[in-house]
A and B are shown apart, each in its own frame.
Chain A
């Protein structure tokens, strides 16, 4: 039997093709052409995504004269790291980086902690008005935060809990320029895209079989202990994924940062004004009345953007699985 099998494998491809009336060749040709087409298509699209980043990298190492030299396209003729020094000084890079890192990390931890509690509550408990409250979560996802930005702005500018502050000190607190309001909002699940995290975490906890919980209950675990000892260890992948999202989106967020953290030097807010700083620097320090040239401003903005995203790129290189895998395995369904 085995001998016969071996013998049949030794028949050449063309022989087998002849036996199948050309079907085999047709199949082979289709699959090869499909994979070539696919490779071209995917290469093109990957290039489309990566090209701006590559372009920024090459531009960031160029001197100003290289920018106007039509012979120089992607490899700089005069290699320099001066652009990085300039961008770093415009953005106050060291301090902004530390601030951004601290705030992103603490906000992400706080948000995911609270969202886990809420998501677990929605997934594993029955209580009156549950549907109504969950509809509110959906509402939070759908409402653009900009709608309420006007009144939040004033709310924190003249902050007062039921007039207690006014009664004691005679004036309201101005919390708009401090970090506190944003932490308060994060603790109340109203930070950046928090509705989405609640939704994802709830979706995960819902898929854990009820028997597990009941077994824990029989063995003497209370509600809190079940949550901490049984459920949380299981939820590690989805929590990492949500945490990474919270961290990264907070890092690049402009809206909440501009609104609540205006006084804190953050990379995202510094990046938004880098072009103006550049202009001011050229006028005041270099004494060139016209301001910075457009090309060079472009170059500095690219360098600045690169400096903001480099930490994220490194994070993504190491935690790529954490971002993608758990999201696709949790199965978002409605």
Chain B
């Protein structure tokens, strides 16, 4: 370990002074609640007007989540598969859009402004109001049934599915196409991050490649892709984290319903810990895989 004395020591002290709000906040509002909630997930929490009592019941809450609770398993797999598919779609989409927005054309500033709009308008409750409203959803499906709208994707789907090749894969693709609005509104920040990366690539590289006979397609894979590959990692993590905190998430709804509606704090903690651990594992594994492919220029 380095010796800290003289000026170094003084700088170290001021450094700690600067980050002290974070340290205090982290210990008071992150570490201690986490430990408490971990403890509570092993307990039956009894809330009385005067205070709370925890009765240790071991793994019962976890067992209940996986075996007794009827909807949690289904919700978890549904949410996770939705998360994976949507995240991949968001990455591809935002990379593609960033490539387009990096070109020069008239009205570029306006288009950029529009693409960034969802970051502001579709955050928090507004997203939830639009998608969570069961009433509206039922009306929409009713309208679709009665008017018998023949959408292009449906027609294509019938053609492709009857030909019988890779039905499952097609289903996934069609789900993404049908949910393109979800993908578009979730990729504002990612587009900006990719754009900032694209702008740091010097144009002399492309010129050199062009002189050597590279086509645009080749230079996309040989120059653009490796140069911003580190941003794929950043965006991937951001996308997953963002997805976990969306307000139209079924699991979070269930947790807060258990907590506020049923006053079942122990069970709610267990659910949130399961969800948290699963997400962390997914982030860890996927970012390890992506980081293998990241190319660092300097």
Contacts and interface: CB of A to CB of B under 8 A. Distances in A.
A328 B33 contact: no
A42 B100 contact: yes
Interface stretch (A10-18, A73-81, A86-94, A182-190): A182-190
A143 B51 contact: no
Given A158-B52, A316-B120, A121 B245 contact: no
A148 B30 contact: yes
A196 B201 CA distance: 25
A61 interface: no
Interface string A254-291: 11001000000000110110010000000000000000
A38 B47 CA distance: 60
Contact of A253 (B21, B40, B125, B130): B125
Contacts of B126: 252, 271, 305, 308-309
B68 interface: no
Contacts of B114: 46, 49-50
Interface of B: 1-2, 4, 8, 11-19, 21-26, 28-30, 32-34, 36-37, 40, 45, 47, 50-52, 97, 100, 103, 105, 111-121, 123-126, 128-130, 133, 135-136, 138-139, 180-181, 184-185, 192-193, 195-197, 199-200, 230-231, 233-234, 237, 241, 244-245, 247, 252, 255-256, 259, 265, 268-269, 272-273, 275-276, 279-280, 283
Contact of A121 (B18, B40, B50, B113): B18
A185 to B, nearest CB: 5
Contact of A189 (B25, B50, B121, B241): B25
B204 to A, nearest CB: 19
Given A253-B124, A254-B124, A298-B139, A144 B276 contact: yes
29 contacts: A45-B97, A49-B184, A52-B130, A114-B21, A117-B19, A121-B19, A121-B22, A137-B22, A142-B283, A143-B30, A147-B273, A148-B33, A150-B255, A154-B40, A154-B47, A154-B265, A188-B26, A190-B30, A253-B125, A254-B125, A268-B125, A271-B129, A297-B135, A297-B136, A305-B130, A316-B117, A320-B116, A324-B116, A327-B193
Contacts of B283: 142
A330 B113 CA distance: 18
Interface in A109-150: 114, 117-118, 120-122, 124-128, 130, 133, 136-137, 139-150
A271 B269 CA distance: 27
A172 interface: yes
A149 B256 contact: yes
A249 interface: yes
B196 A331 contact: yes
A48 interface: yes
Contact of A332 (B32, B119, B234): B234
Given A127-B12, A275-B133, 9 more contacts: A38-B100, A45-B97, A121-B17, A151-B269, A248-B120, A249-B123, A294-B138, A330-B196, A333-B231
Contacts of B28: 188
B230 A48 contact: no
A262 B25 CA distance: 22
> Chain A: interface residue count, which band?
35 or more
A188 B24 contact: yes
A252 to B, nearest CB: 3
Contacts of B116: 320, 323-324
Contacts of B40: 150-151, 154
Nearest to A171: B50
Given A126-B11, A223-B14, A146 B233 contact: no
B29 A190 contact: yes
Contacts of B37: 147-148, 150-151
Contacts of A254: 124-125, 128, 247
B8 A126 contact: yes
Contacts of A173: none
A149 B259 contact: yes
Given A150-B269, A252-B126, A272-B128, A142 B18 contact: no
B123 A188 contact: no
A312 B120 contact: yes
B255 A42 contact: no
Nearest to B125: A254
